């Protein structure tokens, strides 16, 4: 049903609105050293991840938008029961809450790029006491909502596949960087917390 596609696109808009306060905060308070050029961003992320992130943007936003506005991809539809769309809608609410909570907890430590910022510290409160990468968890759930709410092999599935590949490559890279910066403090944090799912009996801290 195209109704769920439109609701998915509303979720996409909402995820960017949730992130805006962190973007403005970093623009206002970030040091000149933290502001990377596009070439520096590519070097930080790696060429493969940078290309995958561009593809993910296209697959998660542009393709569903085309699908909602036209009938070009209709031949690639797959069938799901209506409850899957509602499940995706409920999951979208969870995505927005996780993103809001994680950005609020990170405050000035958030960065859109994998980098160690000037005067950065490990975040010990809130959602980061249980999960090291809640923003990544939210993006993986975002991909799953796309599969459930955009039932089309071209407009629904590629975004989920792309975000899985990005996480497989990005998380180890980020954790190596954090270990290099924080050493045993971060290694201990890794033992106390889950990467994408919480360990409810432990407390921890981290960066994004």
CATH number of the domain where residue 72 is located: 1.20.120.1630
Contact between 150 and 60 (Cβ < 8 Å): no
Q: Is residue 41 one of the residues assigned to a domain?
A: yes
- Inside any domain, residue 205: no
Which CA distances in Å does 124 have to 120, 138, 168, 173, 193? 12, 19, 24, 21, 11
3-state secondary structure of 37: coil
In a domain, 166, yes or no: yes
Domain assignment present for residue 208? The answer is no
The answer to whether residue 179 sits within a structural domain is yes
Strand partners, 123: 206
Distance from C-alpha of 6 to C-alpha of 64, rounded to nearest angstrom: 9
How many domains would you assign to the chain? 1
pLDDT in tens, 101-146: 999 998 877 777 776 666 778 887 899 999 999 999 999 999 999 9
Tell me the C-alpha distance between 208 and 198, whole Å.
15
Find the domain containing 39 and state its range: 2-192
Q: Token digits for 189?
A: 């944090």
For the entire predicted model, the pTM comes to 0.88
Per-residue pLDDT at 202 = 44
pLDDT at 123: 81
pLDDT band at 41 (very low <50, low <70, confident <90, very high): confident
**Can you tell me which residue has the tokens 């921890």?**
204
95, part of any domain: yes
pLDDT at 80 over 60: yes
Distances (CA, A) of 18 to 14, 83, 89, 105, 179: 6, 26, 17, 13, 29
């Amino acid at each position: 049903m195209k109704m769920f596609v439109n609701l998915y696109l509303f979720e996409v808009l909402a995820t960017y609105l949730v992130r805006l306060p962190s973007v403005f905060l970093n623009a206002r308070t970030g040091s000149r050293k933290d502001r990377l050029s596009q070439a520096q961003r590519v070097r930080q992320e790696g060429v493969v991840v940078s290309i995958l992130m561009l593809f993910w943007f296209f697959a998660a936003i542009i393709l569903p938008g085309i699908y909602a506005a036209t009938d070009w991809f209709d031949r690639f539809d797959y069938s799901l029961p209506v409850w899957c769309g509602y499940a995706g809608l409920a999951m979208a609410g969870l995505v927005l809450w996780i993103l809001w909570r994680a950005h609020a907890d990170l405050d000035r430590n958030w960065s859109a790029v994998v980098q160690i910022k000037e005067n950065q510290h490990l975040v010990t409160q809130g959602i980061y006491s249980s999960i090291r990468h809640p923003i990544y968890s939210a993006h993986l759930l975002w991909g799953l909502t796309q599969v459930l709410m955009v039932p089309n092999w071209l407009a629904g599935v590629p975004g989920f596949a792309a975000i899985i590949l990005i996480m497989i490559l990005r998380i180890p890279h980020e954790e190596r960087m954090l270990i290099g910066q924080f050493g045993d403090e971060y290694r201990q944090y890794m033992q106390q917390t889950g990467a994408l799912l919480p360990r409810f009996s432990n407390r921890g801290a981290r960066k994004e």
